[in-house]
Structure 1
Amino acid sequence: MPSLFFALLSEAKPWIQKTKVTPLSHSGKFRIYQNESTYIIISGPGKIPMALAVSEFASLLSKETRNQMKIWNLGIAGGNMAKTNVGDFYWIHKIRDFASQKDYYPERIQSSSFKKETNLTTFDRPVSKVQTDNRFQVIQEKELETISLVDMEGSGFFEAASLYFPLENIAIGKQISDFLEGRFCKENQVEEMMGSILDPLFEEWNTPLPWMEEDVMETKIWPDISRRLANLRLTETMKHDLKKSLRFFHLRNPNAPIPPPDMGFPQTIKSKSDLKLFLAGWKEKLHA
């Protein structure tokens, strides 16, 4: 049962109408809509409300459910790229929080009818290239040199979602709404733009996660590796981290054999530090 996060009702409205979701009765702060196959959550603008909405939603779910749930954030963003148009849609492969200068790296979408990817910078206030009114943070041209898209929610969504959901379940997509002219889009304009990309995205939204149709990791790869490493007495945290790295490799190389660890190394393991070194060396191969 996938979940979809929006900052604004106008961004979500085409999806609410398409899916016919209805409000979920719960004691929390944020609006959550649900039908038999999906959740839609509206946080309000800003990275902190978005992070809180993700956390509140995650608290309603079991860990098993979260591990199997596709979770997306869609919405509008200001553009700062040449040869682009209002309405162009991009998947995000890097997010920078402008205030903290911290970077985040969502997983790349492997198969989509929307092929474009770019970086996103999250600001605490709306951004403009020119001074209009005090609601906008004016950004100088030099600061904009490495910025492609801007929003107010991306970093909050990703940082919170990555605490509760597997990284490979998380995706962020943004549609260009303006070019930082210092004006707000009208609600009907946002609805129209988001509606224009709904149908192809809706198909992809309803496609199961790659490993959910036949979870080779759970049925074949992990059981085999667990047997081979049984004598090492891995902690649950070590198992969890190793499984994430194995899945990372398998998703990107579905037909390739899993790179083996240094099986001579376990003979020299005499401490937890040795075990950590053994796992670090293996994970380095998996992420190469």
Structure 2
Amino acid sequence: MDRDGIRIDNVSVVFDTPAGKVTAVTDIKQHVPHSSFVSIVGPSGCGKSTLLAVISGLQDSTTGLVRVAGRPVTGPDPSIGVVFQEDSTLPWRTVEENVAFAMEMIGTAKAERRQRAKDAIELVGLGGFEMSYPSMLSGGMRQRVALARTLAVQPEVVLMDEPFAALDQQTRLFLGAEVRQIWARTNQTIVFVTHDISEAILLSQQVWVMSYRPGSIIDVVDIDLPDERDASMVSTPRFNELQNRIWTSLQAESMRGFRQQEAQKKVAT
């Protein structure tokens, strides 16, 4: 197996809209090494989710190319798993059936998918809830089901698009710690999109900061904190230094975006 991870080579995405062409992301060239954990932060509307969609094969790039494990990404692929922000559980299926769903779609043999579903459910801490339905679970537990469904396919890469955004802070911290533990055990490559700077620092080995639209990578911050992390780390001097560096870049881009939007409103009126 190629251990090159994810290579993003000069990717740009331009959308056709009624108002004309809109460049969502522009000229992004980055490398995510195999088995690493990278988070992406940026102002709202900067193209974070668009970039993740290109990596997943759900969105074509206008220019450039993405390679995963040395292979060009030309469309959705079982080797690339995605966990979305929205609740994606199927209400008429049990936890076990939800986790097995993606494997059914790619034709995994019944006995194998049952075992892999069982293993993934245990991995995310839902053992004992196999026969429960989503309506019986909390929001955090339903997100664990979605994560288990992705992990059961055994992808090389896991992409997470603000998976905890709708959850309370305590649940976010707990699930973030679980995701980091799962990553340490599976050695998968993870790219995680978030608006929360503290979450990005606690989870990641590296944080990419994106500019306002058209989105580009304006800073790459290596997170040189100990591997063993918990919420108490947010009060340490080094954590604060990293947070301030990222916030300074984000604040400048958010203000630029605000001014640009205000200028566009004046032109429209």
- TM tier, shorter chain? under 0.3
The one of the two structures with greater contact order (alpha-carbon pairs below 8 A, sep at least 6) is 2
Normalising by structure 2, what TM-score?
A: 0.27
Normalising by structure 1, what TM-score?
A: 0.26
Structure whose alpha-carbon radius of gyration is higher = 1
